[in-house]
Amino acid sequence: MGIFKKTVRRAVMVREDFQKLPRHVAIIMDGNGRWAKKHKLNVAMGHRQGVETLREVIRHTDDLKIEALTIYAFSTENWNRSKEEVGALMQLILDFFKSEIDELDEKNVRILILGDKALFPDKQREVLIEAENRTGGNTGLTLNICLNYGGRAELVRAAKAIAQDVKDGKLNVNDVNEQTISDRLYTTGQPDVDLMIRTSGEMRLSNFLLYQCAYAEFLFPKVLWPDFSVQDYDEALMAYGGRERRFGGRLR
C-alpha cells in the first residue's frame, strides 16, 4: 500500500452491475488518526491519505450516477482537537478545493457546504463560497461536504427559520409538518439518506445527519478510512442492495 497515491487498481463495478443503488450515500470518514498511528506517521499524514480515499470515492460515486453523496469532513466538535491538527485540516481544505474544483466542475458536480461557514478563517471561507457559487448551476452529482457541521446545530437553525417565518406571518403554526423541517435543512430538495457508511469500526452517528438518516441503512466496515478502497465501497453498495427496507410496513 503506497502512501498518498493509490496505485493498486482492481476491477471496479459499473452501474449495471447493481440491481439496486442508493440515491443518497452518506459517509463518516473515520480512522485517519489510527491509520497514522499504525504507520508511525503524524496525524496530518493520516488526514492527507484520507483525502486520497475521498477523491476515489467521489469519482466512483459520480461514475455510478448516484444522485447525492454527503461526506463528514469536520464536525462542530472537531474544533476540540489540538491547534496543530485543526491547522492541518484547514490547510487540507484549501488544498482539496484547489486541486479538485476544476475536475468536479467539469464533471457537472454541484458542491454544497453543510455547516456554518462563519467560523472558518477568511481564506477557507472564500474558497468554500467560491466552490458553491461556481458549481451551483451544475446538474450532476450533488456533493455535500459537511464542514463545521452538527446535526443538532442544523436542527436548531431549522427551528429558528421556522420561528421567524411564523413571526413574520409567512407560516401558520398548524401548517408546520415534516416537510417544513426538511425544507429548512442544508439538504433541502435532496432525497433522504439511503445508505450511511462509517469506516473504522466505530458504531455511532457522532451528530451526523440526525434528521436525514431516519430510515437509512447503516454499514460499519472495520477498515480505516485511508485504507477504504473502491472495492470496499462496491462491497458496501452490494450489501445495501441486499437489505430489505420496510419503512414500518410489511413486505407483501
The residues that touch Mg ion, with contacts defined as CB under 5 A, are 30
Q: How many residues bind ligand IPE (CB under 6 A)?
A: 17
The 105-144 contact track toward ligand IPE, x by CB under 6 A, reads: ----------------------------------------
Span from 31-39, 52-60, 117-125, 170-178 in contact with ligand IPE (CB under 6 A): 31-39
State how far the alpha carbon of 66 is from the alpha carbons of 79, 141, 193, 194, in Å: 31, 7, 12, 11
Rule CB under 6 A: say whether 59 interacts with ligand IPE.
no
Shorter beta-carbon distance to Mg ion: residue 30 or 85? 30
- Please report how close the Cβ of residue 105 comes to ligand IPE at its closest, in angstroms: 24
Shorter beta-carbon distance to ligand IPE: residue 190 or 199? 199
Which of 30, 194, 227, 234 is labelled catalytic?
Answer: 30
CB pairs under 8 A, 24+ apart, for 201-207? 201/31, 202/28, 202/30, 205/28, 205/151, 206/28, 206/72, 206/75, 206/77, 207/75, 207/76, 207/77, 207/150, 207/151, 207/152
Shorter beta-carbon distance to ligand IPE: residue 72 or 233? 72
Rule CB under 6 A: say whether 192 interacts with ligand IPE.
no
Would you say 114 and 144 are in contact if contact means Cβ atoms under 8 Å apart?
A: yes
Residue of 75, 144, 212, 229 interacting with ligand IPE (CB under 6 A) = 75
Shorter beta-carbon distance to ligand IPE: residue 13 or 212? 212
**Is 177 among the residues known to form the active site?**
no
Rule CB under 6 A: say whether 97 interacts with ligand IPE.
no
Residue 73's binding partner out of ligand IPE, Mg ion, none, with CB under 5 to 8 Å set by partner kind = ligand IPE
Span from 55-63, 71-79, 108-116, 235-243 in contact with ligand IPE (CB under 6 A): 71-79
Closest residue by beta carbon to ligand IPE:
33
Shorter beta-carbon distance to Mg ion: residue 68 or 93? 93
**So which residues are the catalytic ones?**
30, 78
Which residues in this chain contact ligand IPE in the complex, by CB under 6 A? 28-34, 72-75, 78, 89, 200, 202, 204, 206
